[in-house]
Amino acid sequence: PTPTPPPSYAINFAPVAANEQNTVTVPNGYTVDVLLKAGDSIEPGTPYSGGFPTPADAEKWSGGNHDGMEYFELSGTDANAGGLLAINFEAPDLNILMSGDYDPAKATADQKALALSAVGVGVVEITKGSDGKWAVKAGSKFNKRYTGNSSYKASGPASGLLSATIKGTLNNCASGRTPWGTYLTCEETTNNYIDPTQPERNYGWVVEIDPYQELAPATKRTALGRFDHENVAFMADSNNRVAFYMGHDGTPGCIYKFVGDRSFSTTNRASNIDFLDHGTLYVARFNADGTGEWRALVHGQNGLTETATDPGNVSQSVTPPAPKTVAFRNQAEVLVDTIVAARVAGGTVMDRPEWITVAPDNSAIFVTLTNNSGRQTADKANPRTRNLHGHIIKFKEKDNSPLATTFTWEIFLLAGDPALAGFGDKLEGDIKGDTFSSPDGIRIDPKGRLWVQTDHSVPGTSGKPSTSIEQVFGHNAMFYIDQTSKQSKRFLVGPTGCEITGIAYTPDLKNFFINIQHPTDNWPVAGQQPRSSTIVVRRTDGQPVGN
């Protein structure tokens, strides 16, 4: 049975104009507060105050490059006035950690420890004051850092190929959650910051963290595959069967889902402790006729044998690359080398899948394909060669079921702007209303409203100055998009140099938590070093955002 669709929820804000101001711009009637800056205290210690930290100090700070995040309710607390925020730190804000450039090959032990302190995850208890402003509750037992220096366990079918204790979680990009209230942090790297003493396959996993610290310690869940993970979004049915959808932010990369073998428990939280270790990983194949298939990445199926044929990344050259013979001897090897296994099994290589989101009524899944300037061979699902601005695909599972093995799909929109048409290659896109480039964050909120965040990092297009993208689109921004009319309205514009990423909210939708990643110009504190930060966006009249 399909859950009942949510009521429609009007959007009623006056869009803001594209701009290049060094501030966060929101519609009239909205206010912005900075909640947690890189270098603020999470665990008790000495926060950033202008000088460089010791590694021990930095381990207790908010890390850098705030990215995906999730809000968790606390029993006994009004969830609209307090809860836990779990936040990913994708990369260090090096400017507050050490002087000069960081070169991993020449770094001292302290410099390495500092850089690794600033990636990972932070969990903070936050509360709303009587003035409506939110603050981290200092000293909360829930406040905790998980860093690139901490220890992690691995579980699932490939754990035997990993170290018993793994140092660090790295490049924690976007996020997800499970229906049993754990946090999923996604390692968007299989090869950055490599410690020569650690095998490379220790990274590139989804890591499950219990923000309440009741279940397992932070655990890398190998059944979900090893690739440059962007985020995770789940779809559950009325029998508590659940699928977890994931994108591989590769140029190009595939789209995956993991379907657990059993129903999760709503009454015995602890019984879900190994849920993510038992299930089937699938890769999506987008057929030209608008249908699609989920192909199981199971050893012995779909060509995953000891004499497998890898077709390579067929999108990045005009003539197909020569196929290669590769060997998968067991399921653990399929999961460690998921990127190749997906191509062997017939997965479609896409234009850098970033976030995926599932509609509250399970009727649609949206995925951002952020861009792929190197695409030379187009297909129906990736229709533009030299795709500088990206697109968004909408797909629908058969019977709206997480267990489906087939789906239908359509291009929801092509990003770009008519002002860029002169640069060739269909760069104009088909967005109605406020245009953007390089969609990255995407989430349908509990009222069914679609939000998109951008990461146009000025890809250096040939023949035009690198600033022209910002001249057309302004700074990176966040948009509301009507799913029927496809009308886009710009809701928020970030400060100089930043990417907008991360969306979480209180259950009443009156407080939106959003991340400002890697600002480059003295924001948020004038006259000080720029610092990635989590902000809170609220309406001054106390009504839900967008209502």
CB of 526 to Ca ion, least distance (A): 24
Q: Which does 187 bind (CB under 5 to 8 A by kind): Ca ion, ligand FEO, none?
A: none
Which of 90, 210, 277, 445 touches ligand FEO by CB under 6 A? Answer: 90
CB of 499 to ligand FEO, least distance (A): 8
Q: For Ca ion, give the closer residue by CB, 220 or 456.
A: 456
**Residue 55 one-letter amino acid:** P
CB of 6 to Ca ion, least distance (A): 26
Q: For ligand FEO, give the closer residue by CB, 144 or 518.
A: 518
Q: For ligand FEO, give the closer residue by CB, 370 or 506.
A: 370
Q: For ligand FEO, give the closer residue by CB, 192 or 305.
A: 192
Binding mask 119-158 vs ligand FEO (x if CB under 6 A, - otherwise)?
----------------------------------------
CB of 72 to ligand FEO, least distance (A): 22
Q: For Ca ion, give the closer residue by CB, 182 or 454.
A: 454
Look up residue 333 and give its DSSP letter. Answer: H
Measured torsion, CA atoms of residues 201, 202, 203, 209, in degrees rounded to the nearest 10: 140
| Residues near Ca ion (CB under 5 A) | 354, 440, 455
Binding mask 329-358 vs ligand FEO (x if CB under 6 A, - otherwise)?
-------------------------x----
DSSP per residue over 23-72, as a string?
Answer: S-B--TTEEEEEEEETTSBSSSS---SSSPPPHHHHTTB--SSEEEEEEE
Per CB under 6 A, 184 contacts ligand FEO: no
Dihedral over Cα of 132, 137, 141, 144: its sign: positive
Query: Mapping DSSP to helix (H, G, I), strand (E, B) and coil, where does residue 413 land?
Result: strand
Token digits of residue 117? 């302190």
Token digits of residue 166? 């793994």
CB of 232 to Ca ion, least distance (A): 13
Q: For ligand FEO, give the closer residue by CB, 62 or 143.
A: 62
Calpha distance 531→523 (Å, rounded): 6
CB of 188 to ligand FEO, least distance (A): 5
Per CB under 6 A, 230 contacts ligand FEO: yes
Calpha distance 420→156 (Å, rounded): 47
CB of 115 to Ca ion, least distance (A): 16
CB of 518 to Ca ion, least distance (A): 7
Calpha distance 136→129 (Å, rounded): 11
Per CB under 6 A, 187 contacts ligand FEO: no
Stretch 240-259 residues interacting with ligand FEO (CB under 6 A): 249
Per CB under 6 A, 173 contacts ligand FEO: yes
Q: Which does 210 bind (CB under 5 to 8 A by kind): ligand FEO, Ca ion, none?
A: none
Q: For Ca ion, give the closer residue by CB, 124 or 500.
A: 500
User: Of the candidates 530, 504, 547, 407, which has an alpha carbon nearest to the alpha carbon of residue 124?
Assistant: 504
Q: Which does 188 bind (CB under 5 to 8 A by kind): ligand FEO, Ca ion, none?
A: ligand FEO
Calpha distance 137→119 (Å, rounded): 22
531 exposed, middle or buried (CB, 10 Å; 0-12, 13-18, 19+)?
buried
3-state SS string over 168-197?
CCCCEEEEEECCCCCEEEEECCCCCCCCCC
Q: For Ca ion, give the closer residue by CB, 304 or 442.
A: 442
- Say if residues 502 and 514 touch (Cβ distance below 8 Å): yes
Q: Which does 417 bind (CB under 5 to 8 A by kind): Ca ion, ligand FEO, none?
A: none
CB of 408 to Ca ion, least distance (A): 26
Contacts for 395 with CB less than 8 Å, ≥ 6 apart: 284, 292, 364, 365, 367, 407, 408, 409, 410
User: Of the candidates 382, 347, 156, which has an alpha carbon nearest to the alpha carbon of residue 257?
Assistant: 347
Q: For Ca ion, give the closer residue by CB, 354 or 434.
A: 354
- Say if residues 19 and 99 touch (Cβ distance below 8 Å): no
The residues of the shown chain that bind ligand FEO, judged by CB under 6 A, are 90, 173, 188, 230, 249, 354
